[in-house]
């Protein structure tokens, strides 16, 4: 029987960005089961995909021995197709069709570069299908009314918009004349990011905030996001997850590569600090008079105005 071997990232964001390619392969070759090799963090997402037969999660080891671990778990010696986004030794196993990641470019978005790896000339946006999935986490969400999702954490402090900005933005969007009048506010973050997120959780109205920080797996986070009306967050895997479940998504960028990693699609907005490439954390500087002043590359008023305009445009 023909089978496909799909090797993807151990990091959540990069792994989610390859789901569009996986979805394309399953749709074009629905009778060919897929084996996925990935990190432990995104493994649950791939297990949920119809058409994926086996998921082999790996943990990085010295001397690249994790690839040997994965090889020992493979049940087949010859593959119909191998797609390797890691440049791993597994990519050179016997196969009829072989697609190896050769590196992206700073002027091409990941959805385009990933698609080109398998010879497709159009972008393949990420997709996580959470329809018909049940979850205890979903029971905590309101069944009526709007929901705003925010993700104030990131894997680097240089990517974190100040928590006071997230508080002010959330209040502005959900107040009486905001775009999400009276909405509940879901706060998301990975396990271990509680310290980063708690100033936001504690600063929001207790009757409207729903704290999911460190309380969801990546798939559960996708399920929660699928029920939300708008996502605003730093450059992170949660941002790409929001895109993958097809909700309006706003990504805040400072350092990093927004051309490559910005949220993709017509329902996405990327706001970049000025000057680009600088951290979006709040900086204290001294002016000509010797006074301490706050400098922000991504000012709150600009973000509020852009997010409101973006969301209203989608509703027209």
Parse the chain into domains and list their residue ranges.
4-117, 136-315
Top-level class of domain 4-117 = alpha beta
For 184, which DSSP code?
E
Cα 18 to chain centroid, rounded: 11
Q: How far apart are CA 130 and CA 145, in angstroms?
A: 20
Closest among 220, 222, 229, 101 to 173, alpha carbons compared = 229
**Fold: same for 4-117 and 136-315:** yes
Dump strand ranges (E) for 134-175: 147-151
pLDDT recorded at residue 132: 64
Q: Are strands 95-100 and 79-84 parallel, antiparallel or unpaired?
A: parallel
CB 119 within 8 A of CB 25: no
End-to-end alpha carbon distance in the chain: 49
Q: Where are the beta strands (DSSP E) in the chain?
A: 4-7, 34-39, 52-58, 79-84, 95-100, 147-151, 184-187, 209-211, 230-234, 249-253, 268-272, 283-286, 292-295
Nearest CA among 239, 261, 237 for reference residue 250: 239
pTM over 0.85: yes
Give the contacts of 202 (CB within 8 A, at least 6 positions apart). Answer: none
Residue 6 main-chain phi, psi, to 5 deg: -120, 115
Q: Is 136-315 assigned to CATH 3.30.420.130? A: no
Distance between CA 243 and CA 125 in Å, rounded?
8
Cα–Cα distances (Å) from 193 to 153, 157, 198, 200, in that order, read 7, 11, 9, 12
Structure confidence at residue 179 (pLDDT): 97
Mean pLDDT, consecutive 10-residue stretches, the chain (316 aa), reads: 96 97 98 98 97 97 94 93 97 97 90 97 96 77 95 92 97 96 97 95 96 96 96 97 98 94 97 91 76 86 98 94
Residue 166, pLDDT score: 98
Backbone angles phi, psi at 47, to 5 degrees: -65, -25
């Amino acid at each position: 029987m023909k089978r496909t071997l799909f090797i993807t990232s151990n990091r959540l964001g990069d792994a989610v960005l390859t789901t569009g390619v996986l979805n394309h392969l399953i749709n074009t070759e629905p009778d060919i089961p897929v084996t996925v090799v990935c990190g432990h963090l995104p493994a649950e997402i791939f297990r949920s995909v119809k058409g994926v037969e086996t998921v082999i999660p790996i943990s990085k080891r010295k001397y690249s021995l994790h690839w040997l671990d994965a090889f020992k778990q493979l049940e087949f010696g010859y593959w119909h197709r191998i797609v390797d986004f890691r440049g791993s030794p597994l990519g050179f196993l016997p196969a009829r069709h072989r697609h190896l990641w050769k590196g992206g470019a700073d002027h091409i978005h990941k959805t385009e570069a990933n698609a080109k790896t398998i010879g497709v000339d159009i972008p393949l946006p990420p997709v996580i299908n959470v329809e018909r999935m049940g979850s205890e986490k979903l029971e905590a969400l309101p069944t009526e009314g709007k929901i705003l999702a925010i993700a104030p954490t990131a894997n680097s402090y240089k990517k974190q918009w100040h928590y006071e900005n997230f508080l002010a933005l959330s209040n502005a969007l959900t107040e009486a004349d905001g775009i999400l009048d009276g909405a509940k506010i879901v706060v998301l973050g990975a396990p271990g990011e509680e310290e980063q997120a708690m100033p936001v959780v504690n600063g929001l109205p207790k009757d409207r905030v729903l704290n999911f920080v460190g309380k969801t797996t990546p798939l559960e986070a996708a399920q929660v996001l699928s029920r939300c009306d708008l996502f605003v967050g730093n450059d992170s895997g949660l941002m790409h997850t929001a895109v993958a479940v097809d909700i309006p998504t706003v990504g805040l960028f400072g350092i990093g590569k927004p051309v490559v990693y910005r949220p993709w699609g017509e329902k996405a907005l990327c706001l970049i600090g000025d000057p680009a490439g600088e951290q979006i954390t709040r900086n204290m500087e001294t002016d000509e008079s010797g006074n301490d002043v706050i400098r922000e590359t991504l000012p709150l008023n600009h973000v509020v105005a852009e997010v409101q305009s973006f969301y209203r445009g989608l509703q027209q």
